Each structure stands twice: as structure tokens, then as C-alpha cells.
DNA sequence: TATGAATGAGGTTTCATTCAT
DNA sequence: AATGAATGAAACCTCATTCAT
């Protein structure tokens, strides 16, 4: 069940299916606009035009402009929470699960570079309670990866490393693709980025067993793009 | 020489020492305001009050509000460029130089968390040419660290790793301290953060010689606070 | 025949009994809303919710928002025109008729303080022709009292006073109960107010015969609450 | 010292003489606009144009639109508090003082009919605390007249009547000139109105001594326009 | 050089009214 | 006949910028 925080936002419309649909429409438009120009410079009129609705309509589904930002950020964070489990589905090997999870994370990043940057830029523009809600969603996502790391350690594929720190390094590494797109995007694609990056990060993390397993996975073909 | 971009910004004042002094004053105020509330929500009046000058005065040293942002971001980026060489001064051992450089970088971060976040949030609010100038400053700083890495490789203390990727991982790791302060700052201080983080990142990077050298450095006492 | 101004208001509904019923329902809601918050701050939605109908329905019985105000004010003024004759029914003595008429007037006031204030506040919000219609209704009501006064003069119970002025003083006195409710309502009820006020106003108006008649009425018991 | 309540209103302008002057200018414009069309239908632009200033300027001397209303109502009420003492200056005879006070009250009314109506219509549009402040000002003014009444009673010129009630009847009588201008203004001027009205109201209030004094005053010429 | 009052374009938000269902 | 989602004009208010002193 995505969108746990849908609760708070005001609407004057009663048909809840319609509310769902319109909100999705507005969220899409908001992400596009905010990503392009930033939250503050974007006007409600911009969002209305992008969503191809009237200005008035927006205020039937949303209390104020900040709600649009909240919806946008929720959607961005939610995408991770949806995509990672999806990518993991059916995969059993811990090392492969780890790799696939990171790859999924980075791919979401890669496909929505602007949205990721948006999350970095504008989370602070939210009221405190909403900022906390967004941060909790981020923690939830990180936990998906942390679980994979712990499984690798339990399976003796990873050394007994500092999990929290390692997860954050991985997450930051993924975000870096978006945040420093102007540096990386010119020279490689996301999958190459993940490949090169993980290879570097795993050097000191894989056990001997882990290294072997990795080799066999590569022989069998790691899931690529 | 700080303020490489001195060129562009308009002023009606002729005494260039005065311009220098006022600009520094305004930059300080701007960094404080923008860090606190963000660029767009901050008003010129806010900056004027923080700098304890009149609104009119600002426009004698600055063409428009964006100039203040540019000056602020320049100053933030400049701090790295000043602090890292300062910290390296007098140190010869490549491994120690590397460590000290990263530490200096992270410490600047730690002492100006808000300013670092500011750079992430608001660089996009600049006009293209200025955005490029800021990004170039970031590349220059990264190069300071890259040089240390290459020296370590040349000295056979580091394996022949992917330098560019490694530097970015380190830089992102440092920034993470500011960007994810809400996660880390509760549980440790910057130096501990650097310690734990680098230890993890260096696991697969140090050569056998590098590992030994590291041990001896630790015995002799790594530079602390 | 209430609703003399039935003419003007637009409707798309043909069943005239239904129109009557719905209009009454809307008028009640409008009086309540407008009294509470004033005409302009009240929204059509407010009225719709109070009347427990949809917004769209309102526009099937009413041309625009101003119609609601007109209906509301008509209803308020109409109440006087209905209540005074009702109270006078069966009473023959001129002095008692006068007293009862004033009392009835004041009681309507007392029971609908907000509505009376509404009439004072918002009559000006009407278009000229409607404003005139409302003022005519007020004159009609005043005439009901003026007739009582003239009867008292003809019966030598009142001196030959300035009738017009006297009627206005009485009417204003009654309205004052509503307009200055914050002053009077704390210390007495309407009937006491009328009692104290009329006693004062009649001091110089009653003839010797009038004074005697008053005394005998009081002995026999004036109609109270 | 008029305008005890000037305190609360926000301004960004420091020169307090200028604030005083601008506020007076805005208040004049506000009274004119609000009287003409009512508070809600009047736009800030209307006031700005009437005062011949920019919209922005208004918000340097006033926090919001409601402040304009408050200032306007204060000014209206203040006029009474200034004019009555002015008219009483130098007059000693209690009966004449009473007459002159009522006359002054009614004249203010007469010269600012719209403003008086404004006070009736729009006091409710104020926030509670300000509404109270305005009502207190009204009570203060009433007290000026009440004092005259009490002096007349003490001097045995008035019977020992219900002072509070009498004062309210007089005040309402004066207001009626404005509130029912459409009725009275056609047939007489204010002074005639006061003359006819007071003559009626005083019939039962004057003592025998009071009646004599009144006659002698009239012989000597009551203060007219 | 320094000040701060003045300007007005433009942003967010509301709400009377319409109209397809 | 009844509903309520959709519209968009127009209101309030902010704030970057100017300019007379």
C-alpha cells in the first residue's frame, strides 16, 4: 500500500477515485515543473498548464502549493519503495539480491535524475512534520538495502562490516549519479556506473567466498540492463 | 586568490577596498540567510538586516539578488580550496596527505553544514554561466584530493584503482555528513565519521604496503582535532 | 401576501409549490449564514451546506447570490408585517394597541437580533431597486405603529405630538435593542427594555386622560411575556 | 490624545511623523471608499487610487486590509470625542451644555452620514479585540452626553430619569439621522431635526425649572449653526 | 557613500457561476 | 430536478528594485 501519508491533504471533491486520479495527474505535472525550475520559481499556473487543467481545479484537490511539493516528493520516494522489491522478486542468492537492489535503486535514479535532485533541493521547503515523513520514507528505502547487506554478511559473503555506514555510502553513491550527472552522464550509462562503483566498493567487503560467488555470477551473467 | 568571478558583479562604488569589505560583509549575511531559509524565501530586507546595512546599500555593491547567491556559493566553495592546502602544508607522506585532505574537506563540511546544503539546493538557481563557474570550482577542489590519491598510487600505497570514481565516492561521503546530518550527527562527530568511513572505503584500496604504513601512522598518532 | 418581490427572481423550476418550498428553505439558510458572518464573507457553499442542498440546486431557484440576500431581507422585514397585526388582533383600546404593537415589534427584534442587524448592515449591498423595495417594507411597518399613535391622539390619550418623529424614535428605540445588544442584553430582557423605554418616552406624550388609562391598564395587567 | 489604539498596526516605515501623515491620508481614502461601496466590495486598489498612492505603499503603513477598516472606524468615532468637548468649551449652563452636546453629536453625524453608517455596517467585520476597542470608544462618547444629563438632573432642570436609557435614546435618535437619512434628509436639516426631536424627548424630562430655563435660553437665542 | 520610502508586477488563493451527468 | 466538478476572473499581498535625499 503506497502513499501512507495521503491522509492530510485537503480536498473539496467527494469521489475518492477521482481524487486519486487527479492527484496523480497533478503530481506528475508538479514533479515535472519543480524538477525543471525548482519549487519556488514554479507558479501554480505552470503546474496547471502542464497538467492541462484550470488553476481553480488544483485547489479542489490540494490545500496549497506546499501540498503539491509534498505529493511530488512522496511520489519520488515511493518509486524506490516500489521498484526495489519488484526487482528482487524471485531472486534468492544474497549476493545477487544485493547487486540487483543497488542496481534498481540506481536505475530509478537514472530514469528520474531531476526528481532525485528535486528531493535534495526542496525537502527543506516542507513544513517540519512533512519533512519528517519524507525522511522516514528515505530510511525505509535504505532499510531495503540494509537487509540485503545483512543477508550477505550472514551468508559469509561479506565481511562483518559497518552496515549503516556501508549502506549510506552506497545510497550516496547512487544519488551521486543524479547529483553529479553533469560529471558522469557524459562518459557512461547507469549500469556501467553501478558496475564500476560497486566493484570498487566491494573490494574490501567481499569475503573470499563472496569473491568466488561473484565470479560465478559474472560467468553466469549478472542481470544487466 | 579568492573571488575569481569578481568580473561580473556590478557596483557603483569606486573605492575597491571598500567594495571588497562590503561584499565580504554581504556574503556573510547572505550565506547565513540563505542557509537558514533558502534562497527564494529570503528577502533582500532579510540580508540587509542581517548585514546591518540598508537595502539601498546592497544595490550599490551588487547588481541583483542572484549576485548575492553567487557570491555566497563562491565563498562556500572557496573555503575548501583554501582549507585543504592549508591542512596539507608541511606534510610529506602521501598516505597522511590523503587522510588529512579528506579530513579537512569533511571538517569544512562539518563546520558549515548549512552552507554545504545550500550549495546543493541552490546552485540550480544560478544562471547557466555562473552555475558552470561554481561547478568548475567544485572540480578544482576534487582535483586537490585526486592528486593525493594519485600520489598514493604512485607510491604503491594504493592499488591502481579507478581514481575518478574513488574521488567522487569520497567527496560524496564527505557531503553526506552535511546532507544526512539528521542521520549521523546524532551519533558521532565529524572526525569519528571520517575515521569510520575511510576505514571502510580503504579496505580494498590499500596495498599491503599501504596497510602497513597506515598502521605505523596510527601508532604515531594520526592528526586529530 | 408575503414576498411581494416574487417577480424578479429567476428560476428554472416549473413546479411553483416546489419553488416556494425550496426558496423558503434557502432563505432560512441564508438568514442564518448572513447573520452569522455577513453577506460578503458567506459563500454559496456555506448556504448550500446550511440548507443541506447542493450548490447547483441553489442556482435553479435563484439567479445569483444577491437574490439570496434580497430574499433574506424580505423575510426579515416581512416578519414585522406579520407579527404586529397578529398581536393586535382582538385588542380595541388605543393605548393598549399602541403598547402591544411596540412590544410585538421589539419582540421580533429580540428573537432575531442577528437578522435585524443584518438588515442594517446589508441593505446597502442590494441593487437600488431592491434597496427601495426593502425601504418601502420598512415604511409599511412603521405605518402600522403610526396608525396606533394617531388613534391615541384622536382618542385624546396622547398629546398632539409630532407623529412622524415619535414613530421613528420608537422604531429606533426598538432597533437599539438589537443594535446595541452588547450593552442592554446583559442587564435586562426585551420586555423590561420596552417597559423602561416606553415609560420614559411616554412621560411627555400622555395626556392626563392617557395617564389615567395607563394606570388602569397596569392595574388590569398589561400584556406581558 | 486621540487614537489611543494606534499601537497595534504594523509598519515598515521608521519616520513616525511620516507614518502619521500617510496613515491619515489612507484613513481618509478608506473612509471614502468603504462608505461608498462597503468594506468587502472595496479593493485595496480602490483605496490606493483614492489616496493617490501605489498599492505597495499601503502595505508599508498597514498590515492588512482590516487595519484600514480599523483606522477608518477609529477616526469616525474619534471625531465625536473631539467635537463634543470643543462645542462645550466655554459654556456653563447645564441645560445649554446638554443641548449643545447633542447638537454637536448630531452635526458630526450630519456631516459624515456615510461614515456613521459605515460604523454600523462594518464594525462586525473587525476581529474581536478591535471590535471591542471600537465599542469602548462609543461608550466613551456616550459618557460625554451622560455627564451633561446628570448635571441637568443635579441642577434640578431634569427630572430624576433613567439616565442610561435616556442617553441611548438620544444617541439612537442622533444616529437615526444618518441611518434613516433617506427618510429625514429630504424634509429638514440636522439642526431642525435636533430641535424637533429634542423638544419631543424633553417634554417629560424637563422639570418646571427646566422648562423655564429652556424658555429663557430660547429667548436669548439657542446656539444654532 | 548611505538611506529607506515608493513602486507595481506578479504570485497564491478564493469563490460565484456553469454545465455535463 | 438535483448534483458537484470545473472554470477563471479577480482579490490580497509580497518583495526586488529604484531613486530622491
- Calculate what percentage of chain D has a pLDDT beyond 70: 95
pLDDT at D219 over 50: yes
Is residue B115 within 8 A of residue B35, CB to CB? The reply is yes
Mean pLDDT of chain B: 93
Nearest CA in chain B to A39: B40
CB contact under 8 A, A201 and B120: no
Cell numbers 538557481 label which residue? B125
pLDDT digits (tens, 9 = 90+) for D40-92: 999 999 999 999 999 999 999 999 999 999 999 999 999 999 999 999 999 99
pLDDT at A5 over 70: no
Give the Cα-Cα-Cα angle D170, D174, D176 (nearest 5 degrees). Answer: 115
Does B173 contact A at CB distance below 8 Å?
A: yes
Q: Which residues contact D64 (CB under 8 A, 6 or more apart)?
A: none
pLDDT at D182 over 90: no
**What is the reported pLDDT for A51?**
98
Give the nucleotide at minimum CA-to-C1' distance from B63: F17
- Calculate what percentage of chain A has a pLDDT beyond 70: 95
Give the nucleotide at minimum CA-to-C1' distance from C61: F1
Partner residues linked to B158 by β-bridges = B206
Taking chain D, what is the end-to-end CA distance rounded to the nearest angstrom? 27
- Cα–Cα distance between C105 and C141 in angstroms, integer? 9
- Cα–Cα distance between A44 and A68 in angstroms, integer? 9
Residue B89: count other Cβ atoms within 10 Å of its Cβ. Answer: 8
Partner residues linked to C158 by β-bridges = C206
Does D196 contact C at CB distance below 8 Å?
A: yes
Tell me which residue of C132, C114, C116 sits closest to C124, measured CA to CA: C132
pLDDT at B6 over 80: no
* Among the partner residues D182, D196, D197, nearest to C135 by beta-carbon distance: D182
Mean pLDDT along residues C100-113: 95
Q: Which three cell numbers stand for residue B39?
A: 534562497
Is residue B120 within 8 A of residue A179, CB to CB? The reply is yes
Residue D55: count other Cβ atoms within 10 Å of its Cβ. Answer: 12
- Cα–Cα distance between B169 and B149 in angstroms, integer? 12
pLDDT digits (tens, 9 = 90+) for D10-29: 999 999 999 999 999 999 99
Tell me which residue of A104, A78, A77, A75 sits closest to A89, measured CA to CA: A104
**What is the reported pLDDT for A186?**
83
pLDDT at C225 over 50: no
The nearest CA of chain B is from the CA of A21 a distance in Å of: 31
Q: Which three cell numbers stand for residue C17?
A: 409549490
* Among the partner residues A40, A165, A204, nearest to B204 by beta-carbon distance: A204
pLDDT digits (tens, 9 = 90+) for B146-194: 999 999 999 999 999 999 999 999 999 999 999 998 888 889 999 999 9
Taking chain C, what is the end-to-end CA distance rounded to the nearest angstrom? 27
Partner residues linked to A158 by β-bridges = A206
- 3-state SS class at B225: coil
CB contact under 8 A, A169 and B196: no
Mean pLDDT of chain D: 93
**What is the reported pLDDT for D2?**
44
Taking chain A, what is the end-to-end CA distance rounded to the nearest angstrom? 27
pLDDT digits (tens, 9 = 90+) for C122-180: 999 999 999 999 999 999 999 999 999 999 999 999 999 999 999 999 999 999 999 98
For residue B60, CA distances in Å to B5, B65, B151 come to: 17, 12, 47
Tell me the pLDDT band of B2, cut-offs 50, 70 and 90. Answer: very low
CB contact under 8 A, D169 and C166: no
**What is the reported pLDDT for D39?**
98
Tell me the pLDDT band of B221, cut-offs 50, 70 and 90. Answer: low
pLDDT digits (tens, 9 = 90+) for A187-204: 899 999 999 999 999 999
CB contact under 8 A, A201 and B201: yes
pLDDT digits (tens, 9 = 90+) for D120-155: 999 999 999 999 999 999 999 999 999 999 999 999
**What is the reported pLDDT for C5?**
43
pLDDT digits (tens, 9 = 90+) for A145-164: 999 999 999 999 999 999 99
- Which of left, alpha, beta for B52 (phi over 0: left; psi -120 to 50: alpha)? left
Q: What is the largest CA-CA distance in chain B?
A: 63
Does A166 contact B at CB distance below 8 Å?
A: yes
- Cα–Cα distance between D45 and D50 in angstroms, integer? 8
Is residue A145 within 8 A of residue A102, CB to CB? The reply is yes
The gap between D17 CA and E13 C1' (Å) is 35
- 3-state SS class at A161: coil
pLDDT digits (tens, 9 = 90+) for A19-45: 999 999 999 999 999 999 999 999 999
**What is the reported pLDDT for C6?**
42
**What is the reported pLDDT for C186?**
82
Give the nucleotide at minimum CA-to-C1' distance from C12: F1
- Which of left, alpha, beta for B93 (phi over 0: left; psi -120 to 50: alpha)? beta
Tell me which residue of A14, D72, D128, D90 sits closest to C54, measured CA to CA: A14
Tell me which residue of A39, A40, A58, A35 sits closest to A48, measured CA to CA: A58
Residue B154: count other Cβ atoms within 10 Å of its Cβ. Answer: 11
Find and list the nucleotides of strand E having atoms within 7 Å of a protein beta carbon: 1-20
Mean pLDDT along residues A110-127: 94
- Calculate what percentage of chain C has a pLDDT beyond 90: 88
pLDDT at A4 over 60: no
Cell numbers 544474497 label which residue? A94
Whether the model clears a pTM of 0.95, i.e. scores above it, the answer is no
- HEC secondary structure over D66-94: HHHHHHHHHHHHHHHHHHHHHHHCCCCCH
Partner residues linked to C206 by β-bridges = C158
- Cα–Cα distance between C176 and C171 in angstroms, integer? 8
Tell me which residue of C165, C159, C193 sits closest to C177, measured CA to CA: C193
pLDDT at A1 over 50: no
The gap between D40 CA and E16 C1' (Å) is 15
Q: Chain C interface, mutation test: which of D124, D136, D181, most C Cβ atoms within 10 Å?
A: D124
pLDDT digits (tens, 9 = 90+) for B43-60: 999 999 999 999 999 999
- 3-state SS class at C28: helix
Does A158 contact B at CB distance below 8 Å?
A: no
Amino acid at each position: 500500500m503506497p502513499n501512507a501519508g495521503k491522509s492530510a491533504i485537503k480536498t473539496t471533491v467527494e469521489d475518492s477515485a477521482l481524487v486519486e486520479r487527479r492527484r496523480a495527474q497533478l503530481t506528475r505535472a508538479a514533479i515535472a515543473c519543480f524538477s525543471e525550475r525548482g519549487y519556488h520559481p514554479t507558479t501554480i499556473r505552470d503546474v496547471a498548464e502542464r497538467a492541462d487543467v484550470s488553476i481553480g481545479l488544483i485547489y479542489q484537490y490540494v490545500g496549497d502549493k506546499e501540498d503539491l511539493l509534498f505529493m511530488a516528493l512522496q511520489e519520488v520516494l515511493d518509486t524506490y519503495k516500489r521498484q526495489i522489491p519488484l526487482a528482487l522478486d524471485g531472486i534468492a542468492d544474497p549476493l545477487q539480491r544485493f547487486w540487483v537492489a543497488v542496481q534498481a535503486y540506481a536505475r530509478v535514479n537514472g530514469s528520474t535524475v531531476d526528481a532525485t535532485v528535486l528531493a535534495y533541493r526542496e525537502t527543506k521547503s516542507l513544513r517540519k512534520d512533512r519533512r519528517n515523513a519524507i525522511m522516514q520514507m528515505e530510511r525505509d528505502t535504505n532499510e531495503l538495502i540494509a537487509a540485503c547487506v545483512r543477508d550477505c554478511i550472514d551468508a559469509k559473503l561479506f565481511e562483518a562490516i559497518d552496515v549503516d555506514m556501508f549502506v549510506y555510502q552506497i545510497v550516496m553513491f547512487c544519488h551521486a549519479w543524479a547529483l553529479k550527472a553533469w560529471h558522469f552522464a557524459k562518459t557512461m550509462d547507469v549500469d556501467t556506473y553501478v558496475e564500476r562503483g560497486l566493484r570498487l566498493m566491494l573490494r574490501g567487503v567481499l569475503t573470499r567466498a563472496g569473491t568466488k560467488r561473484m565470479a560465478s555470477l559474472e560467468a553466469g551473467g549478472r542481470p544487466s540492463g
